[in-house]
């Protein structure tokens, strides 16, 4: 029976934590961009994203 060394377990745990952090940061950035653009009063941004918001179910008005 082979045992995993503590060093390999720590590396695996750190890698998993880094991936989770990256996924969370990406999701938060995406939500922030969506909200910033979705509720922006600037007509150009609103018109440019209007159809995309409606097709994804995001209310804009």
Residue 1 lies in a domain: no
pTM higher than 0.85: no
Print the domain residue range for 34: 6-56
Residue 17 lies in a domain: yes
Q: Is residue 51, in this structure, part of any structural domain at all?
A: yes
Answer with the residue of higher pLDDT: 3 or 47: 47
Cβ distance 51 to 27 under 8 Å?
no
> Is 40 among the domain residues?
yes
pLDDT, tens digit (0-9, with 9 covering 90-100), for 8-57: 656 666 677 788 899 999 999 999 888 877 777 777 776 777 777 777 77
Q: Does 61 fall in a domain?
A: no
The tally of domains found in the chain comes to 1
46 closest CA partner among 29, 59, 57, 27: 59
Residue 36, in any domain of the structure: yes
């Amino acid at each position: 029976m082979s045992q995993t060394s503590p060093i390999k377990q720590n590396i695996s745990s750190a890698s998993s934590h880094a991936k989770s952090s990256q996924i969370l940061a990406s999701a938060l950035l995406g939500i922030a961009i969506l909200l910033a653009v979705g509720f922006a009063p600037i007509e150009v941004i609103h018109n440019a994203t209007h159809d995309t918001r409606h097709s994804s179910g995001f209310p804009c008005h």
